[in-house]
Structure 1
Amino acid sequence: MSTDNLGKLENRVQLKLLSVPENIGLCRVVVASVAARKDLTLNELEEIKVAVSEAVSNAIIHGYDNNPDGIIFLEVKRFEKGLEILVEDKGKGIEDVEKAIEPAYSSNPERIGLGFVFMKSFMDRVEVDSRVGEGTRVRLVKKWPANGEEG
């Protein structure tokens, strides 16, 4: 996973959650609380929340096949120049990451396959590291707008 020059760490929160749908909302609230800044618009904050929802949903649905006993790790770091979110599971992993991030691709025929599309459109960087049988780690980065610049 690459590094971004996001500056000094201002806050960090780590959570260990069961892979149940109720925890998607909890992750949204935690990320919004850590990300909240006076210069972020409500729309920008909502986009960050959607991106984290998609990453956590993917862990539940695809990583653990909706098994509520799986564990999801969430880490949110706020830096002076941006936000980094890590969502990690120890589920089944992704066989072909490049194919998985293509629009409209889903390993589940009942899904429409737009999770990574939303993540990529709302965040400045999306990185996926996955190993079959070991799990998946998604890194999301959002850089703050420069002073006086619209986001």
Structure 2
Amino acid sequence: MTLQFAAKSENESFARVAVASFVSQIDPTLEEIDEIKTVVSEAVTNAIIHGYEENPEGLVTIHVVLKDSIVEITIEDQGKGIEDIEKALQPLYTTKPELERSGMGFTIMENFMDEMKVESKIGKGTKVFLRKKLNSTRNVS
């Protein structure tokens, strides 16, 4: 599944529900769905607030692949990029303290998923790759 939408904060909840609905076909637990919805919210919010600095003309793209009981989610923007990924991955680090951002987005994503990779280029954007093996009983090919 590929989904693309304007970088508007009201689209964050749409992204959560769309990804959760798509993933539901492989029978995740309620906890797994909640974790997936949370990481999608965090990544989309980062793209909107940090990547595009709340410019609604930007586009956020989500790509979800289901392989057996594995969910792979890529969330991408073409925004300003991350200057120092290692620093951005540190708990409590935020570039927007005036917006009362907690700086825990990447930490939450790492804790809820089995794998997380972040790629970013200044002036080109950021791509967050998330992967999780579900405890599902049914498989999708």
Tell me whether the two structures share a fold, i.e. TM-score over 0.5: yes
Q: What residue is the counterpart of 2:77 in the other structure? A: 89
Confirm or deny that 1:127 pairs with 2:117: yes
Note the 1:22-61 alignment, pairs <5 A: 22-37=10-25, 39-61=27-49
Deviation of the 1:37 alpha carbon: 4.6
CA distance in 1, matches of 2:129, 2:85: 14
User: How many residue pairs were aligned?
Assistant: 135
Where is the helix percentage greater, Structure 1 or Structure 2?
Answer: 2
Secondary structure of the structure 1 residue equivalent to 2:80: coil
CA contact (8 A) 1:93 1:130 kept: yes
CA distance in 2, matches of 1:115, 1:29: 19
1:36 partner SS: helix
In 2, Cα distance between equivalents of 1:37 and 1:44: 13
CA contact (8 A) 2:32 2:134 kept: no
- Equivalent residue runs for 1:131-150 within 5 Å: 131-145=121-135
Instruction: Give, in whole Å, the separation in 2 of the partners of 1:89 and 1:39.
Output: 29
Unpaired segments ≥5 residues, structure 1: 1-12
TM norm structure 2: 0.91
> Which letter maps to 1:137?
K
1:77 Cα deviation (Å)? 1.1
CA RMSD of aligned residues (A): 1.3
TM-score by length of 1: 0.85
Shift in Å, 1:76:
1.0
Q: Which amino acid aligns with 2:111?
A: S
Q: Does 1:79 align with 2:74?
A: no
Q: Is the Cα–Cα contact under 8 Å of residues 34 and 78 in structure 1 kept in the other structure? A: no
What amino acid is the match of 1:123?
M
- For the 8 Å contact 2:110–2:116, the answer to whether it is kept is yes
Structure 1 CA distance for aligned equivalents of residues 132 and 16 of structure 2: 15
Identity level (%): 48
Query: What is the correspondence of 1:108-123 to structure 2 with a 5 Å cutoff?
Result: 108-109=96-97, 110-123=100-113
